[in-house]
Structure 1
């Protein structure tokens, strides 16, 4: 399972705007959109930065 769409669903469910997260992470809105829609790969470093920007623990979106 790709984690991008899972993070996107979380953000939508919690009212977190993509543009806010992109700016906070220092990314373009297009880059974030591509990651969340599974069109671009998400590196471990990017995953950690994204979790930090939305204020969730790293483990939240990982499968057991």
Structure 2
């Protein structure tokens, strides 16, 4: 199937051009900014839940 071949080509291009590394770097920057913002709020169940959600979103695999 040409669509599947094209998708594979695009994935390889993104990987070889450093696109994934760049995306991970940006993601980690936003993660740290979110952690810093959350640290400004009092300890609570809501803050803990948001921290756990942040970790899940960052660490999940597709």
TM-score greater than 0.5 by the shorter chain: no
Higher helix share: 2
- Give the number of the structure whose alpha-carbon radius of gyration is greater: 2
Give the TM-score taking structure 2 as reference length.
0.30
Give the TM-score taking structure 1 as reference length.
0.29
